[in-house]
Structure 1
């Protein structure tokens, strides 16, 4: 059973709020995942292209590049197009959810995210990090 960040599946958290990134990082790391962060979609895309991730957790509203555009860009790039993405946002209207799926999200979750839910969902999409 490996629990080192070099072996654990790596998740990229993309959100402009430092507190949200830290919150999601804490949950994912407690579940055994390695975590990298980006403050906006542009930074997220650069990180996604320079490293291999098992999953993206993406906010909607960010400067420079929002989450919808980030996902659309990811889905156009064969080297990263297959990585699952969960959009996590305060936007709760059905049209926001639909727009996320059209951009390439695999799932849409309205904030706040419960730690137990996120842990179960990460394990479902990526596998149990503690077995990596």
Structure 2
């Protein structure tokens, strides 16, 4: 079973993503900021992480940059944010995101992009 880490400070967003992903057979874990997410990554590997940008203590950009700089098992990262400017997208990719989506994200859009990053996309 594929393991997905949701990194978002908003409990409602974590519950929304969790319900969609668990309903599709994924094992879901949560972190409320980049620091907690890094602690989880150092303990065990994940197959995918879904990362918010704006979070307290450590934002999504800093978390991904730090994750990518470490010599640990890496996972594709889907960054989802309310920030819609081209500069936000560029900054996300520079930090190590594999895909960038702008909120709100519909359930089918979330699943399609997660499957793509997990190598499960159907043609």
Same topology, TM > 0.5 = yes
Q: TM-score range by the shorter chain?
A: over 0.9
Structure number with the bigger relative contact order (C-alpha 8 A, sep ≥ 6) is 1
Match of 1:115 among 71, 95, 107: 107
Q: TM-score, normalised by structure 2?
A: 0.94
Q: Distance in 2 between matches of 1:51 and 1:24?
A: 21
Please say if 1:35 is aligned against 2:28. Answer: yes
- What stretches of structure 1 move > 2 A for 4+ residues in a row? none
Q: Please, which runs of 5 or more residues in structure 1 have no aligned partner?
A: 1-7
The answer for the alignment partner of 1:125 in structure 2 is 117
RMSD of equivalent CA atoms: 0.9
Match of 1:84 among 43, 63, 76: 76
Q: How many Å apart are 1:21 and its aligned residue?
A: 0.4
CA contact (8 A) 2:78 2:114 kept: no
Greater shift, 44-53 or 12-21, is seen at 44-53
Q: Distance in 2 between matches of 1:86 and 1:55?
A: 8
Q: TM-score, normalised by structure 1?
A: 0.88
